[in-house]
């Protein structure tokens, strides 16, 4: 067990080092990954005590170093101060995201909203945008996206062009009957393990159940049981306004027309043709990732792990 556990601790610290993210002993346990992804970590479930005890032996002192409760690769200790500062910046931004989510909660067809990316890790910068994972009502993804995008644009909170800082980046939409993530890899397991539910914690729990495949990459993955600090509380008034607005939009029958128009617009976008891009546009998912981070992070991870 000790040899395999040591390898997996190094693998975990190395993976997050690629993201300039020193980790605590608890985070090593929570996000522990296996160096060989098709194997379990050990013969029995790995506990936080196992992690703490192994780190205390000093067997990994030539590869990782501890400072102020954080672990990182040797010679990368300077990242610890950066992470502490990044967390302060990220918390302020997440508070603003939470306020925005409260405003968006009344919009028609919006079923769940989550924060992803560097802010969800609390590793953002002052220039960071707000990556959002959006769940819309089944059968209304095109009009739901149009309404959400239009509203954010009108209030000056949609990212576009050079307007990036503190603006919503809308690049991942799914419907509430399609919650299982299609791309199942190490980076996706990381991305959606860190996701912060801003709206609708009950649907978020369903999302976690649909994505139990994360266990293949994060063997210590457990379902969230305590509502997150940044989750907007349910509101009967907000839900009532949303239902009223949906009843009005339901009679307009714009969905097919918007689907045809937006699909053509996406098809003509040159970014759609970028090699390695992740673009999906159908009635259950709208995903716009011209340069997905996963492959880049994985290549750097393999390089650093082999040193």
Q: Give the residue-averaged pLDDT of 121-150.
A: 97
Helix, strand, or coil (residue 43): coil
| Across 110-114, average pLDDT | 98
- Whether residues 67 and 174 fall in one domain: no
Q: What CATH number does residue 29 fall under? A: 1.10.10
Q: Please indicate, yes or no, if residue 62 is contained in any of the structural domains.
A: yes
Give the residue among 96, 200, 115 at the shortest CA–CA distance from 155.
96
| Band of pLDDT at residue 38, cut at 50, 70 and 90 | very low
Residue 23 lies in a domain: yes
Counting the structural domains of the chain, the total is 2
- Give ∠ CA 188-191-192 in degrees, rounded to 5: 85
Q: Are 264 and 243 in a shared domain?
A: yes
pLDDT at 42: 44
Specify the DSSP class assigned to residue 194: S
161 and 29 housed in the same domain: no
**Predicted confidence (pLDDT) at residue 6 exceeds the cutoff of 60:** yes
Domain contains 229: yes
Is 57:9 a contact under the CB 8 Å cutoff? no
pLDDT the model gives residue 1:
56
Give the pLDDT of residue 40.
47
pLDDT on residue 241: 96
Question: Can you tell me the mean pLDDT for 182-211?
Answer: 96
Q: What are the contacts of 278-283 at 24+ separation with CB within 8 A?
A: 278/183, 280/182, 283/139, 283/141, 283/142, 283/175, 283/259
Query: Can you give the residue range of the structural domain that contains 193?
Result: 84-294
Residue 115 phi/psi, 5-degree rounding, is -90, 135
Return the number of other C-beta atoms located less than 10 Å from residue 29's C-beta. Answer: 19
Q: Is residue 124 part of a domain?
A: yes
Torsional sign, CA 89, 91, 94, 95: negative
Does one domain contain both 233 and 155?
yes
- Please list the residues that pair with 174 across neighbouring strands: 135, 285
In a domain, 307, yes or no: no
The pLDDT value given to residue 36: 60
Domain shared by 150 and 102, yes or no: yes
Please check whether residues 15 and 91 belong to one and the same domain: no
Last residue of a domain, one of 57, 76, 95: 76
Task: Give the tokens for residue 5.
Answer: 């556990």
Cβ proximity of 14 and 73 under 8 Å: yes
In a domain, 8, yes or no: yes
Q: What is the predicted pLDDT for the residue at 175?
A: 98
Say whether both 93 and 70 belong to one domain: no
State the pLDDT at residue 67.
95
31 — pLDDT class (breaks 50, 70, 90): very high
253 and 228 co-located in one domain: yes
Both 42 and 58 in one domain: the answer is: yes
Closest by CA position to 303, among listed 20, 17, 29, 8: 17
- Cα distances (Å, whole numbers) of residue 136 to 109, 233, 249, 250, 293: 5, 19, 14, 14, 24
What is residue 3's predicted lDDT score, i.e. its pLDDT? 78
Same domain, 95 and 184: yes
Per cent of the chain over pLDDT 90 is: 85
Percent share of the chain, pLDDT over 70: 96
The predicted structure's pLDDT at residue 96: 97
Same domain, 41 and 162: no
Which of 50, 76, 102 terminates a domain? The answer is 76
Tell me what pLDDT residue 146 has: 97
Q: State the average pLDDT for the chain.
A: 93
Average pLDDT for 201-214: 96
Boundary-marking domain end, from 55, 76, 97: 76
The residue-averaged pLDDT of 140-165 equals 96
Is residue 262 domain-resident?
Answer: yes
Condensed to tens digits (0 to 9), the pLDDT of residues 267-297 reads 899 888 888 899 999 999 999 999 999 999 9
Looking at the fold, whether 57 and 117 belong to one and the same domain comes out as no
* Among the ranges given (58-62, 73-77, 93-97, 243-247), the one the predictor scored with the smallest mean pLDDT: 58-62
pLDDT of residue 11: 95
For residue 272, the model assigns a pLDDT of: 87
Lowest mean pLDDT, pick from 21-25, 59-63, 127-131, 142-146: 59-63
Identify whether 46 is part of a domain.
yes
pLDDT in tens, 69-103: 999 999 999 999 999 999 999 999 999 999 999 99
- Cβ–Cβ < 8 Å for 298, 187: yes
């Amino acid at each position: 067990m000790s040899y395999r556990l040591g390898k997996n601790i190094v693998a975990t610290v190395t993976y997050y080092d690629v993201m300039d993210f020193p980790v605590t002993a608890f985070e090593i346990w929570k996000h522990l990954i296996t160096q060989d992804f098709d194997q379990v970590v050990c013969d029995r479930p790995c506990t936080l005590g196992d992690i703490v005890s192994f780190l205390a032996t000093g067997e990994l002192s030539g590869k990782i170093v501890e400072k102020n409760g954080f672990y990182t690769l040797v010679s990368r200790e300077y990242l610890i101060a950066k992470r502490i500062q990044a967390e302060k910046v990220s918390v302020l931004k997440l508070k603003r995201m939470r306020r925005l989510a409260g405003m968006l909660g009344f919009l028609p067809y919006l079923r769940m909203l989550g924060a992803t990316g560097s802010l969800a890790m609390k590793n953002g910068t002052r220039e960071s945008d707000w990556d959002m994972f959006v769940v819309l009502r089944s059968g209304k993804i095109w009009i739901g996206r149009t309404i959400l995008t239009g509203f954010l644009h009108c209030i000056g909170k949609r990212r576009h062009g050079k307007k990036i800082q503190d603006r919503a980046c809308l690049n991942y939409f799914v419907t509430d009957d399609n919650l299982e993530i299609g791309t199942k890899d190490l980076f996706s397991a990381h991305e959606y393990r860190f996701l912060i539910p801003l709206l609708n914690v009950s649907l978020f729990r369903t999302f976690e159940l649909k994505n139990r495949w994360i266990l293949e990459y994060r063997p210590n993955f457990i379902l969230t049981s305590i509502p997150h600090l940044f989750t907007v509380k349910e509101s009967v008034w907000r839900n009532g306004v949303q239902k009223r607005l949906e009843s009005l939009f339901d009679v307009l029958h714009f969905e097919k027309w918007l689907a045809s128009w937006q699909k053509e617009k996406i098809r003509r976008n040159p970014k759609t043709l970028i090699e390695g891009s992740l673009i999906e546009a159908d009635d259950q998912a709208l995903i716009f990732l011209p340069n997905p981070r996963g492959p880049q992070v994985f290549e750097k991870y393999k390089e650093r792990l082999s040193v």
